[in-house]
Structure 1
Amino acid sequence: MNKRTQPKWSWKKSAATAVLSVSLLLPSLVPAKDVYAYGSSLPAPSSTVLTEAYSYASNSFTNFFVNTNGGSAGELKRAQSLFTLARNYIAGDTTTSYKDRLVYWVKQTLNSTAHMPDMHGGIDMRQQQYYLITLALIWHTPDLKAAFTTAEQSRMLLMAKAALAAGAYVTADYNASGVLRTDASRITMDGDPNCWPQGNPNWTEAVLGSFLAGAYIVGVSNVGSFLNSYDHASFKTELSAAGLTDVYDSFNLTANATVNGYVNNIDNNDTAGKPFFRGKKLTDFYADPFRFYYDTTGKFTYTELATEGDQVGVLGRAKEFATTDAYGVRDSLGYVLHGLNHSIGNRYLIDFMGDWSGTSSSTQRTDIENRMKVGFSDVLGKAENGYWNISNGNFYYDTAQDEIYYSFFRSLADDMGLFKQVLFRDNFEDANYTGWTATGAWSILSTEPTWSGSTTQQDDVVQLPAASGVATLISSYSGSNYIVYAPVKVSAWGTSAYRNVGIVGKYVNNNDYYVMRYKQDNGMLQIVKYKGGSTQILKETPFTWNLGTVYQLKGVFGSDGKLDFYVNGGAAPKLTATDTEYLTGNAGYYASFTNAKFDDMLVTGR
């Protein structure tokens, strides 16, 4: 996928202001929050992912009820297909076929029980969040909204109100009596107990995002009036009369008084010093939706120190690489991707509505943007090359390619400037290095305990024995402007002189290339140019390298001659040099008289 330049997102307020002047029980009369102008300043999806969205945008939601984990990755991908078509239109592509496909399938979700979500407020919201965001985009894009009948627009508004009611019901931290709720007391509208809003982002990002989308349709300033006057029995009557059968069936499984007790008392609890969610009141939400998102959800998604990528050791790695679940340790790429996927959907929505750039909490905005940069840089290699997971008491190996919605997630992350273009990757899990060019006695070791994560499962790595002289293992990728990421571990130094380990860039042949290495003979990190088989040290600095420790090496090989060498991240490289002799060449590994092990090479654009 081509990475395009991140456009500046800009917004203009319109002169129009929506004022709630009628009962929220009359959905067709509630005005839209018509506040922003739209245009090509919004990022458009790539043509590749747009084509995929067009072909996949059939929105068939399968509803699961009591005591089940509802939804599926297929449903999420369909919802993200609709979202992709909507953001493509908003970015200025009004191609009739794309618009018609979007409108047709959204109409199906509003008019057909075979394609209708249930809005129960639990795990299903991981699929339905992007659907609700799509409704919010349509609602605030006049010519898209005009493609729907008055009755269909009323159903959209009812969907939004259902998301608000369900979200408030399961997320409110205090019950009707002002008693702090336990996780076990949080049950969805359809009775599913799998609710853990105080826990992990794969849930909280989706549920709060659904609440946000509902609020942006109803109108942020109208949310309190709706929740305070909410009557579950009356709302179910509205759902039934409007033909939203699946939502009605979900809501009908919880007693009226139970729902009313939680939803109607949020403001009372706020006033009594028992705030709505994670220490924040609903009034905080009205005042600044971004800040409410940041304080209750966003900052809890990126809570760990990065172990890979551009900023190793910096705060921002995703929480679900280092959290717990009912079975103990959770360290899961799959759950992380869910959480980050919903996180960037929320960022897009909040920014679309002007509340990201428009917040007065600029310090918090900078903080979450920095955390996201760290978190996405950290997850890229794990996602592309694979990761040993533990969750729900089980071990499993996972790559991004196992998540069928990943292309849409990847596209939005690219457009937000959070991912780099992946040019090459190899994790050696096929137990060979076919396609690489080897000099020296390289081999595959299949019994190496994995280097990343909390498990001790075994990984395939490529290694060189300590007795081998200068050896290179050169990948098939060749370019002029790229970054090489490679974790490496030295298990033993050989007895001969000239003990080195490192990464190669701009490899022309076995006599001409650049290498960024650690030279154990004299304890130096070095940037070295091989020319005609002879070495020229361009830069060096002292460094201590410990046996048995995994080091994250990163080498920048620029088209401008820039050579930057990082070890375990850092804001600045350990070494930097400039040399323009080799304009293009391959990436690879390098070692001599060292039992060196390498894994998970990733090559990206700069």
Structure 2
Amino acid sequence: MTKELVSKALAGICAVYSLSAAELPGPSQAAVDAAIAAPLISFNRSFSGGAHTNGAFFGGASIALAVAAHGGNTSADGRLLEQIRWTLTAGKEPTANGGYPAQHERHATGMFVIVKNTPRIWNQLTATEKTRIDLIMKATLVANAFTTSDNNPYVKANTQEYALDGDDNLNRDWNPNYREGMIGGVLTGMAYFGTANAKTILADYNHASFVAELNANDLPNIYETFNWKTANPTSKAPSGSTIEAAVDSYKYYGNSLDSYLKIYEALLKDTYGQKVNAGLNDGAGIGGAGKIVSGADTLPNKGVTGMLKEFDSSDANGKRSSFIYAFDGYRPHMTNQLSLIVAGYWDPSSTTAILAVSRMNIGNTDLWYKAEKGYIGYAKGKAQALVDYPSYGGSRGFAYNRSLWDDVLKPFHGLPGGSEPPPDPPAFSGGARIEITAATNVRAEASANAPLVSNAADGAFGSIMSGPTSADGIEWWQVYFDNGATGWIDGADFAGAPASEYMATTGAAWLNKAIAAQTGTFTISFNMRPSATNIDAFTGLSSTSASAFGGVAAVVRFAPTGVVDARNGGSYQAANELPYQAGVVYKVQMTINVAARTYSATVTPPGSAAVVIANNYAFRSEQASATSLANIAAYAQVGSHVTSAIVLQGGGMPPSAPTGLRVIERP
């Protein structure tokens, strides 16, 4: 079928399919159950990363619960009401600065729009609770109207733009994770209050009286934002009068709120405006990143416009192709559209709606296909972690965020297919330790005809990077071997490594393995693989089994700052900066002088030179009198990591195996 016929068919579907908001289907029960199990989302500027929330990863559960309740699924009611009241708790409400955090605030503001149009839930809220919701919605409307208004003084002057708290990490024309949050914040505010009321709120906005109202109603996060200029007069935050002038007679690229569908269409065309492809550089990627892992040959709709922008975009470091960022455009866009539908502002016969159905069907099909096949992103000049169902499905809420399309919007728009359960998880997830059971060829690509990289002997160990992908009648897996080789191997030639071969931290539990006591100078090497960036996880040496930080003398750590560091006496330091990436296996080598209570350490990323992290660092202060080291300890305070391929080399002695761990000799 030609693209023209597809468009005409979709137009016909949309023209005759006119479900009302009351008939909006709900997510699958499995999705609702996953949303109920998800953590409650909170907001506060104290959360790291600039998102002002703990829900940057798992966000979306609140929307799934609200849509489920709207559709009559009462199993969602209890958790939904709990989330609503949690959000209304002082200090947990959105910060409403009108910038980068707005994308994540949609998990609250969109929830409020849907709940307001769900009498069974709305009628259970007290008058005080409804007043607090009104104030939160007014704050986010005003803040996002200010940062996106044609009359914004920074926009008019084409200079650095600032949020209400002086934050400069924003621009109304940046990538969809900004636009969908900021401009979508205006649309959800309009959907909540109604067009006429929203216009009146902006036209009559009085900053001083609103700040006083926020303070009187104990909304400290929003009060801090809206009072920022008064509390910090030298900051770049806009004054109250500047905000008032910018939001009065609000327009976005010449469109007032009366033309809200044109504003929505501008978002749609930007977020879903690229042609479907398998990755950067015609699917070749950059250094193996910025591309789909498998299934490029069967990628649906290749070359058709509708792919999410962040699969083919750019940032300050050049080209960008990222599932993570694409997903951050997908989530708020789903909620922005749901808000318009539930509030009665969606006209399925409009050219905007017809275009939206066509573009989103292309883009969302592409998004979830790439999640199933695996996608290695490229952003900010470097590779990102592999994204697939085993690695990201749980932490990113794939179950409920996908169901909002498959089970809610897709049938609402009359598209065929409906719910498509996620594929069965592969036998091995990213990072899983494996052991070669039959000598095998290691190839550059998943093909029997691909160039030979090396040979893996029976008994060799490695870590799964991605897979499986089928080609030439073989199920291929990409493996990083402990000898440094990387390539694709036949899935029939390996099995899962025994648990005694590695140490995998989880749940803040200490892991310990005894080694032969070392009293002189010795070298130990091992691999470390972080589960994510910005975790807090380490592997180190101690005198005895460790159960507290003070018991570990020499430590190499994946730090919360996103770099690798080591302990030097009373603090963590790094001789050289080495940012680490999720899912990448790093080789660590430590040379330790027990008598001097000092050590040095290098960390080697795959395919790169060793980086010195510690150079004659002192043992941890609490271990300044240690006389021997006889234990390997691993611990993760945030996140998790895997330690493997441990080799102990004493002074002038051959490699010896730590008790319970298998040593892998390197060539």
* TM-score above 0.5, yes or no: yes
What residue number does 1:140 align with?
117
- For 1:335 and 1:303, how far apart are their aligned partners in 2? 15
Deviations 1:431-484 (A, max 9, x none): 99x9xxx9xx995524689xxxxxxxx98788999xxxxx63379xxxxxxxxx
1:343 equivalenced with 2:333 (yes/no): yes
2:156 to 145, 161, 180: 180
What residue number does 2:261 align with?
290
Partner-residue secondary structure (3-state), 2:166? coil
- For 1:84 and 1:257, how far apart are their aligned partners in 2? 35
1:201 equivalenced with 2:176 (yes/no): yes
Contact 2:35 2:62 (C-alpha < 8 Å) held by counterparts: yes
- For 2:58 and 2:175, how far apart are their aligned partners in 1? 24
- Alignment gaps of 5+ in structure 1: 1-5, 13-35, 271-275, 450-457, 466-470, 476-606
- For 2:66 and 2:365, how far apart are their aligned partners in 1? 27
What residue number does 2:255 align with?
281
Contact 1:310 1:378 (C-alpha < 8 Å) held by counterparts: yes
What residue number does 2:79 align with?
101
What residue number does 1:219 align with?
194
1:110 to 67, 70, 88: 88
What residue number does 1:380 align with?
368
What residue number does 1:49 align with?
31
1:323 equivalenced with 2:313 (yes/no): yes
What is the CA-CA distance between 1:188 and the residue it aligns to?
1.5
Contact 2:165 2:226 (C-alpha < 8 Å) held by counterparts: yes
1:163 equivalenced with 2:140 (yes/no): yes
What is the CA-CA distance between 1:331 and the residue it aligns to?
1.5
What residue number does 1:251 align with?
226
What is the CA-CA distance between 1:286 and the residue it aligns to?
2.0
- Count of matched residue pairs: 408
Deviations 1:136-168 (A, max 9, x none): 111122231121111111111111100111101
Question: Which letter does structure 2 place at the counterpart of 1:280?
Answer: G
- For 1:53 and 1:429, how far apart are their aligned partners in 2? 23
Contact 2:162 2:238 (C-alpha < 8 Å) held by counterparts: no
What residue number does 1:306 align with?
276
Contact 1:59 1:105 (C-alpha < 8 Å) held by counterparts: yes
Question: Which letter does structure 1 place at the counterpart of 2:357?
Answer: E
Question: Which letter does structure 2 place at the counterpart of 1:118?
Answer: T
What is the CA-CA distance between 1:427 and the residue it aligns to?
11
- For 1:266 and 1:463, how far apart are their aligned partners in 2? 52
Contact 2:376 2:384 (C-alpha < 8 Å) held by counterparts: yes
What is the CA-CA distance between 1:314 and the residue it aligns to?
0.6
Question: Which letter does structure 2 place at the counterpart of 1:180?
Answer: K
- Give matches, 1:496-511, under 5 Å: none
- For 1:464 and 1:80, how far apart are their aligned partners in 2? 33
What residue number does 1:352 align with?
342
Contact 1:387 1:398 (C-alpha < 8 Å) held by counterparts: yes
TM-score, with length taken from structure 2: 0.55
Partner-residue secondary structure (3-state), 1:111? coil
- For 2:324 and 2:375, how far apart are their aligned partners in 1? 9
What residue number does 2:520 align with?
none
What residue number does 1:236 align with?
211
- For 1:61 and 1:385, how far apart are their aligned partners in 2? 33
Describe the shift of the 1:446–1:146 C-alpha distance in structure 2 as closer, same or farther (beyond 3 A).
same
Partner-residue secondary structure (3-state), 1:254? helix
What residue number does 2:101 align with?
124
What residue number does 2:400 align with?
408
Contact 2:87 2:108 (C-alpha < 8 Å) held by counterparts: no
Contact 2:192 2:343 (C-alpha < 8 Å) held by counterparts: no
Question: Which letter does structure 2 place at the counterpart of 1:83?
Answer: I
Partner-residue secondary structure (3-state), 2:474? strand
- For 1:337 and 1:313, how far apart are their aligned partners in 2? 20
2:61 to 70, 81, 102: 81
Partner-residue secondary structure (3-state), 2:229? coil
Contact 2:58 2:396 (C-alpha < 8 Å) held by counterparts: no
Deviations 1:258-306 (A, max 9, x none): 34324434556x7xxxxx32x2322xx224x3332112x1111111111
- For 2:261 and 2:419, how far apart are their aligned partners in 1? 23
Partner-residue secondary structure (3-state), 1:390? strand
Deviations 1:186-207 (A, max 9, x none): 2122222111220201111122
1:395 to 383, 405, 420: 383
1:69 equivalenced with 2:69 (yes/no): no
What is the CA-CA distance between 1:226 and the residue it aligns to?
1.2
Contact 2:18 2:348 (C-alpha < 8 Å) held by counterparts: no
- For 1:168 and 1:431, how far apart are their aligned partners in 2? 44
- For 1:390 and 1:221, how far apart are their aligned partners in 2? 44
- Give matches, 1:2-21, under 5 Å: 10=18
Deviations 1:473-499 (A, max 9, x none): 379xxxxxxxxxxxxxxxxxxxxxxxx
Contact 1:385 1:399 (C-alpha < 8 Å) held by counterparts: no
Partner-residue secondary structure (3-state), 2:150? coil
Question: Which letter does structure 1 place at the counterpart of 2:208?
Answer: A
Deviations 1:209-228 (A, max 9, x none): 22222222222212222112
Contact 1:431 1:446 (C-alpha < 8 Å) held by counterparts: no
Describe the shift of the 1:78–1:374 C-alpha distance in structure 2 as closer, same or farther (beyond 3 A).
closer
Contact 2:66 2:111 (C-alpha < 8 Å) held by counterparts: yes
What residue number does 1:154 align with?
131
Question: Which letter does structure 2 place at the counterpart of 1:258?
Answer: S
Partner-residue secondary structure (3-state), 2:98? coil
What is the CA-CA distance between 1:248 and the residue it aligns to?
0.3
| Identity across matched positions, percent | 25
Describe the shift of the 1:9–1:325 C-alpha distance in structure 2 as closer, same or farther (beyond 3 A).
same
- Alignment gaps of 5+ in structure 2: 1-12, 231-236, 279-298, 411-417, 448-463, 477-667
Describe the shift of the 1:393–1:324 C-alpha distance in structure 2 as closer, same or farther (beyond 3 A).
same
Q: Cα RMSD (Å) of the superposition? A: 3.8
Contact 1:384 1:425 (C-alpha < 8 Å) held by counterparts: no
Question: Which letter does structure 2 place at the counterpart of 1:387?
Answer: Y
Question: Which letter does structure 1 place at the counterpart of 2:275?
Answer: L
Contact 2:371 2:387 (C-alpha < 8 Å) held by counterparts: yes
- For 1:428 and 1:94, how far apart are their aligned partners in 2? 37
Question: Which letter does structure 1 place at the counterpart of 2:373?
Answer: N
What is the CA-CA distance between 1:236 and the residue it aligns to?
0.7
What residue number does 1:520 align with?
none
Contact 1:385 1:427 (C-alpha < 8 Å) held by counterparts: no
Partner-residue secondary structure (3-state), 2:172? coil
What residue number does 1:453 align with?
none
Contact 1:125 1:206 (C-alpha < 8 Å) held by counterparts: yes
1:58 equivalenced with 2:50 (yes/no): no
What is the CA-CA distance between 1:10 and the residue it aligns to?
4.9
TM-score, with length taken from structure 1: 0.60
- For 1:92 and 1:300, how far apart are their aligned partners in 2? 34
1:445 equivalenced with 2:443 (yes/no): yes
